[in-house]
Amino acid sequence: MRLQVFATAVALSMVSAIAAQRPEADATTTGKRRAVSHPVANVCQRQLFPVGFFTIPEILGELTQVYTNCFAPPACTNPSDLEVIQIDGYTNYADWLWTGFSTTMFNVFQQDALISDAIDRSGPFTPIGKVPIAINFYRDIITGSSAVVYVMYFKVTFASCPQAQKGMTWIHSTSNSQVGTITVGCSGCNPYQGDTPCSQQMPLLCIYKPTPAFPPPVNLNNTDLYNLWAGGVVATAQPVAGNAFVNIAAANAYCAAQFGTGWRVAEFHDGWGWNFQAYGGTVSAPAVPSTRFWVNINDQSAGNCWSQ
């Protein structure tokens, strides 16, 4: 589209006003914007030399290519309810992604800044329940009596994506060498919706609680409701994907196969809740905090990788 309604002076003044402000803002906020964007892929192809509108590939194609190759989109095997939103400056000049002369050249840093700017600008427009799965870049031309000025805008495609199932994980937080016990518990865990993708391989926290339960050791502080004595001994089984178990019975059988009859998966409420004390040890011990491990919760179905 060629817009003939702007005089050269207007176009140039707009370029000066916008271009003078935007590069500095882009450069200083790139890291922050990426922190909330798709994870950056380990390997991606980009031009290491300056790229301009009249080079091959043009800057628009290069930007779209870099975004596609370098920013890993979420796993949407069957995207539904696709929605495309165009973000431009037709009603407000400040909303153009970039404005400048057609001879402008872009280096890698400037391209990254433009992509980060587009990611940042798309955030407020993200429909509820959807995530961005693609960004495509476009240009328009503003002509005056002598100058050729380009403006850049973009379109974002959103989709509903299935969320990866997650399960709850705990850590071995402290060891008490005086009484020979340890504390395991929640540290950044989510017992309601899980905190770790079930496809990850992690140790499974197992517990053995005899009947009657082991009494608490002498001098053990057992007054904290959120860190009570569990009356058993714990250990971590070999790493396994949380979704390897159809139900809790299968997970319990895994513990029994590792440690013997009577062992089962440790449960959120083996103390009172959130943490508990027990005999035994876990992966990475005596280093604490340990790496994370799977734990069961019996009253929050969405917090487990397996059914109850």
156, 170: one domain = no
pLDDT at 23: 33
Mean pLDDT of all residues in the chain? Answer: 82
Q: Domain ends where: 141, 160, 179?
A: 160
Q: pLDDT tens digits for 210-253?
A: 999 999 999 999 999 999 999 999 999 999 999 999 999 999 99
pTM for the full model? 0.53
pLDDT at 61: 87
**How much helix, strand and coil, in percent to the nearest 5, is found in the chain?**
25, 35, 40
80, 226: one domain = no
Taking the CB of residue 127, how many other CB atoms lie within 10 A of it?
A: 13
Q: Is the pLDDT of residue 144 over 70?
A: no
pLDDT at 5: 33
The β-bridge partners of 51 are 106
State the average pLDDT over residues 95-119: 88
Q: Domain ends where: 101, 133, 160?
A: 160
110, 234: one domain = no
**Amino acid code (one letter) for 137:** F
User: Positive or negative, the Cα torsion across 288, 289, 292, 294?
Assistant: positive
- Domain hosting residue 203, numbered range: 166-303
261, 293: one domain = yes
Q: How many domains are there within the chain?
A: 2
Q: pLDDT tens digits for 177-194?
A: 999 999 999 999 999 999
Q: Domain ends where: 111, 144, 160?
A: 160
229, 266: one domain = yes
Any residues with CB less than 8 A from the CB of 111 and at least 6 apart, and which?
A: 46, 47, 51, 59, 62, 63, 66
Alpha-carbon distances of 226 from 1, 90, 141, 274, rounded to whole Å: 66, 57, 65, 6
For every residue of 177-199, DSSP letters joined together read TTTTEEEEE-SS--TTT-SEETT
